[in-house]
Structure 1
Amino acid sequence: MNTSTHEQTAEEICILMLNIAPELEEDLVEYLLSIEQIVGFSSYTVYGHGQQHGLSVAEQVSGRRKRSQYELIVNVSTIPLILSGLAEAVGRDIVYWQQPVSNFGRIEY
């Protein structure tokens, strides 16, 4: 079994989370794949809960809104590049946050 760990140089890595409306998925995937600094990402369905404006009647009754969430592990310096084009390439109603990553690697056989 081989293991590799991300060599942390002066460049810090983080996880960028993007939370979007499901109808924006195709545009977001196309946009993310067009940025060469992004080598991959994960996506999954989530449900948002809270006092959000603009909920449909069904969402108001169920108390939740279906969303799509994307996780990207990227260099911190790449974040402004990614965020700067989101509104134009993908649309609005995008929630994002970033968290530091203390270690990152891959276990391969």
Structure 2
Amino acid sequence: MKYLIAAALLAMTSTTGMATELEPWQIKGAELAKAEPTIYDAYWNQNISLWLSMVDDGSSRNGYAEVVCRLLTDAGRPQGEFVAIRVYSYSSIRNGELNQIGKAICQ
């Protein structure tokens, strides 16, 4: 199922600027984000953009996106390294849409 989500996200994005090689902190940070039970997948759309698919309970997921910023710092994100976190509704992705339910900017 997680591969389905990654494929859906990939299909909805441009291939230019896609992440070719991730830094160790990016890999570890995505793994830490996926440890949350309501996260279905974490996907680096670009080297500066981490997309998460998450259960949508109707509440804003901006707070969780901020938590992911801290997780990336814990994983070794260099100080001042810009990362945009986008949280999308898992159910909307399954329906071929991309409904953003949260976001944060890590700097």
TM-score when scaled to structure 2? 0.40
Query: Which protein shows a greater Rg?
Result: 1
Q: Which has the higher contact order (CA 8 A, sep 6+)?
A: 1
* Higher share of residues assigned helix: 2
